Amino acid sequence: MSDEQKFLDILETRNAQRGAEPTWIAARRQAGAARFEAIGFPNRRIEAFKYTDVRAIARGEFSLAEDAEFSRSSAAALTLPIEAIRLTFVDGLFSRALSDLSKLPQGASLEPLSQALADNHEAVGSALGRLCSVDFSAFSALNMAFFEEGAVLRLAPGTVVETPIILQFLSRASDQPVMSHPRVLVEAGARSQVTLIEHQVGEEGAANFTNLVSEIMLERGAMVTHYKLQEASLSDLHVSSLHLDQGRDSRFTSFNLNLGGALVRNDIVGELNAQGAESNFFGLFFAQGRQHVDNHTLANHNAPLTFSNENYKGILNDRAHGVFNGKVVVKRDSQKIEAHQSNANLLLSDRAEIDTKPELEIYADDVKCSHGATTGQLDAEAIYALRTRGIDEQTARGLLTLAFAGEVMEKVRVDAIAERVELAVAGKLPVRFDLAGLVETAAALDEPANKEG
């Protein structure tokens, strides 16, 4: 039996358990399954997966979760300690007990996908799959075939959600790994504002497979700040794609922060479709052991006077492998756009590896575009300079590593997220030092032996 057939057999069993569904859902499941069967799992002969081997997913023996039981104490240990509107999913299934919508303001609607489908499936159908079709990848096709749960967020025009919204995805450790294919839909009305946090986190030893697809639509003047904090166990497998449709004067800011997972693949696709649209993609990935983290981004400037800015940083230790592929496409009539892209990587081990590929594809002539990539190691002189201030070597290395991440971290506005990332990147630093001042000093001293990627 092929790897693909194994997944299709699980789907067939699940479909029989579900019974009759609305025609459009059944048709899309069928389209997803057919596409997945036709193209199969990607291999390394495909350019987009040249550096990423997904056989750990293809050959995995996964089932579908049957319940969302998770104790409050266990969840509390993993939950971000911030006041938030929260939807929680356990192995992909919605947990009402671990969710809290009490602070949801008027004008905002947030539901688990299963509830939104039960309430008004036709309204969901008009949005689901509009930005990410089954043709995007084998994983998007698989998601369309299996989707059951996720989140639907709708903001009426002018709605400002002051309290952050967290979509919390918990992964349990068990003898039987499970897979989930959640789907997130966000429709941000004109001039609405929201901070949306996607938190992927799991119990130690969890070895599950998550395949998430998110579609976010921003109408005129909408502002969405999206944090993805990925803290899955070092055995978890994680694939996600985020797709954007931006209207006039809208602004989308992404913080893609990857700390966990054995195999991680993130795709972000932005469509800047009207004048004044702005996309900001900030990323930081920290990997150690044999972790593999692959980030692919694409910003399509489909209209004049649009702006995109991207800054991704990678920190790799031990035998970790990182991949960055960032692409900006400027369409023929998209004059007076501005697009900047930067990827810098820090290797903490001689055996760590990075493959980076920034790309510009420009068909207009009146544009401002730049891109670049660097790779280096910690500067021995900077370490020595900090040690002369009485700082031990481990702390000095942690501070310099944190300083390297500073350009991204200084923009993070959620303290609990910043603390999680700083702890993972730099370790537990002594509080007796003026860390902010030391990091600033170290940043000034840190000049890695850069080379053009």
- Alpha-carbon span 173 to 163, nearest angstrom: 31
For all residues of the chain together, what is the average pLDDT?
Answer: 94
In 3D space, the residue among 9, 7, 41, 4 whose CA is nearest the CA of residue 263 turns out to be: 41
pTM: 0.94
pLDDT in the model for residue 18: 87
Give residues with Cβ within 8 angstroms of 22, minimum separation 6: 121, 122, 125
In 3D space, the residue among 313, 433, 339, 441 whose CA is nearest the CA of residue 381 turns out to be: 441
pLDDT tens digits for range 232-271: 999 999 999 999 999 999 999 999 999 999 999 999 999 9
Section 153-165 average pLDDT: 98
pLDDT at 62 over 90: yes
| Lowest mean pLDDT segment, chosen from 72-81, 155-164, 290-299 | 72-81
CB atoms within 10 A of CB 1: 7
pLDDT in the model for residue 323: 98
pLDDT in the model for residue 434: 63
Beta carbons of 345 and 336 less than 8 angstroms apart? no
Section 367-378 average pLDDT: 95
Helix or strand or coil: residue 384? helix
For the CA atoms of 16, 173, 232, 135, the dihedral, rounded to the nearest 10 degrees, stands at -20
pLDDT in the model for residue 47: 93
Q: How open is the CA angle 315-41-186, to the nearest 5 degrees? A: 65
Domain residue ranges of the chain, discontinuous segments joined by +:
3-443
CB atoms within 10 A of CB 117: 23
Helix or strand or coil: residue 376? strand
| Lowest mean pLDDT segment, chosen from 139-148, 199-208, 342-351, 376-385 | 376-385
- Alpha-carbon span 237 to 151, nearest angstrom: 21
pLDDT in the model for residue 452: 42
- Alpha-carbon span 84 to 102, nearest angstrom: 9
- Alpha-carbon span 162 to 30, nearest angstrom: 40
DSSP state of 452: B
pLDDT at 174 over 90: yes
The token pair that represents 72 in the structure block = 């409050």
pLDDT at 447 over 80: no
The token pair that represents 70 in the structure block = 């998770």
The token pair that represents 254 in the structure block = 């992404």
In the block, tokens 């450790």 appear at 173
User: Rounded to the nearest 5°, which phi and psi values hold at 119?
Assistant: -75, -45
| Lowest mean pLDDT segment, chosen from 22-31, 109-118, 299-308, 431-440 | 431-440
pLDDT at 436 over 80: no
pLDDT in the model for residue 180: 98
In 3D space, the residue among 272, 314, 263, 309 whose CA is nearest the CA of residue 290 turns out to be: 263
